[in-house]
Structures are given as structure tokens and as C-alpha cells.
């Protein structure tokens, strides 16, 4: 069985990123799924806080690393392709070290993943029929 806490490696051209996913509980706060991305000493934590209409991690009938927003958009934070999409979005927005609201990034990541799955679709086209 693999350790969910180990740092995993993602290589993008000349850049090497390390990443991990954790489910955490803080007293008085909702559950959170946290995707931690690090590169050259810079650490970005993409944080998904549980809330109305939102599912994080080990909620009813879900698994660690799963995030689902109120519109049904979802991502499995354990999938390297999903992590790649989050890295691309963090880079595109020029986000630096610290905590980032994952719910703000999720729609763009879902579109990016759909576009990657259907490369013949023109850029900027919304996913699905």
C-alpha cells in the first residue's frame, strides 16, 4: 500500500514540481482537502474547504482526494493529470507561495482537463455537448 503522505514528482519540461494531497481537520473549521505544490522552495497550497453543496475527501460515498463543487464539477487530486492542470492554472495566474482557494481554480481545471481529453476541439470551447 502506498503512502498518501509521500511527495510525488511531476516533471514539466525543465521544471520539477513535488506534490502531495492531504485531508485535514482543524478545530472549529470544516474538513479540507489540500493539494500542496512545491518547486524550488516555493510552496503553494490549493485548499478546498467543505461547505454547502461542496464535497471534500471522505464525505459520504467519496474517497480521499475527491473534490466536487455545487455545480457537480469534480477532480481527483490524486491523479497526476489533474495535478498538472492545477500547476498549469497556478502558473497561468502567476500565483505565488501560500494558500490558494481551490474552488476558484476548479472550473478552469475542469475545462483544461476536458480540452486535453478532446484535442480536436478548438481552444476556448466549453466542454461537453
pLDDT tens, residue by residue, 66-105 = 999 999 999 999 999 999 999 999 999 998 899 999 999 9
User: What are the extents of the domains in the chain?
Assistant: 8-117
Residues 6+ apart with CB under 8 A from 59: 31, 50
Which three-class secondary structure state does DSSP give residue 26? coil
- 126 pLDDT above the threshold of 80: no
Whether the pLDDT of residue 63 is over 80: the answer is no
Kindly tell me if the per-residue pLDDT of 1 is higher than 90. no
Mean pLDDT of the chain: 85
**Is pLDDT at 39 greater than 50 in this prediction?**
yes
Centre a 10 Å sphere on the Cβ of residue 106 and count the other Cβ atoms it contains: 23
All 3 cell numbers of residue 69?
463543487
Q: What is the pLDDT of residue 127?
A: 60
Scan for cell 514528482, then name that residue.
Answer: 9
SS3 105: helix
pTM: 0.82
Which positions ≥6 away from 66 have C-beta within 8 Å?
A: 33, 55, 56, 57, 74, 75, 76, 77
Amino acid at each position: 500500500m502506498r503512502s498518501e503522505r509521500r511527495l510525488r514528482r511531476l516533471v514539466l519540461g525543465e521544471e520539477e514540481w513535488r506534490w502531495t494531497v492531504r485531508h485535514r481537520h482543524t478545530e472549529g473549521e470544516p474538513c479540507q482537502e489540500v493539494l500542496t505544490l512545491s518547486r524550488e522552495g516555493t510552496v503553494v497550497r490549493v485548499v478546498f474547504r467543505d461547505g454547502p453543496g461542496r464535497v471534500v475527501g471522505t464525505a459520504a460515498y467519496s474517497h480521499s482526494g475527491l473534490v466536487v463543487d455545487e455545480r457537480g464539477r469534480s477532480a481527483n487530486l490524486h491523479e497526476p493529470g489533474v495535478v498538472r492542470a492545477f500547476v498549469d492554472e497556478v502558473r497561468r495566474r502567476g500565483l505565488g507561495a501560500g494558500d490558494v482557494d481551490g474552488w476558484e481554480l476548479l472550473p478552469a481545471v475542469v475545462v483544461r482537463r476536458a480540452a486535453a481529453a478532446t484535442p480536436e476541439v478548438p481552444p476556448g470551447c466549453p466542454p461537453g455537448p
